[in-house]
Amino acid sequence: MVHMFNGDYQKVLDRHSLESSDAINTHICIVPKSLFLAQIYGFMDKSKLEQEHYDSARRFLEAKVQESPEDARIHSSLGIAYAGLGRKEEAIREGKKAVEFLPPTKDAFRGPFRVRDLARIYVMVGEHDAAIDQLEYLLSIPGEISIPLLKLDPTWEPLLDNPHFQKMIKQGK
């Protein structure tokens, strides 16, 4: 993550190539390697590789959601893959479904990750105000999202020129 926050995406790719598993599978998330790589290629403006990896992640996750249809982690990642492929309605639907299955009110530790993923989906599909609403909610509850992290993480870069986002950042100092 440090390399990603510093914009050294090639180092991220080099380190990730050492990983042997097809997916990160923890109690917090299920992220296929292809989904992570798609994001990095997107940051590097390598759109062909980005799209190939989002599509690979989509296929992996659609199969997983058939096996575990109520797993919020899969729906979050599938929503991100759909967003990367420009499938806006499907992306938002999956992100919202993940939050419905595991809201922060049901699980104060894992639930905020689903809200964060929904915010990311909103950013990816150009619904910036909806993304900021989710981020404001996350800043109001205990969790990993913080103003310094929002400034560092390139995921939120599309929001930097948004006056609502700028105000949120200034108020959070």
Which tens digits make up the pLDDT trace of 9-64? 888 887 766 566 787 788 888 889 999 999 999 999 999 999 999 999 999 999 99
Where does 2-171 sit in CATH, by number?
1.25.40.10
Residue 37 structure tokens: 């790589």
Residue 144 backbone class (left: φ over 0; alpha: ψ -120 to 50; beta: rest)? alpha
Least confident of 5-9, 100-104, 152-156: 5-9
Per-residue pLDDT, 17: 64
Residue 20 structure tokens: 């042997």
CA distance 172 to 149: 12
pLDDT digits (tens, 9 = 90+) for 119-172: 999 999 999 999 999 999 999 999 889 999 999 899 999 999 999 999 999 887
> Domain residues of the chain, as ranges?
2-171
Helices 47-67 and 33-43: angle between axes, nearest 10 degrees: 150
Per-residue pLDDT, 4: 75
The one-letter amino acid at 71: D
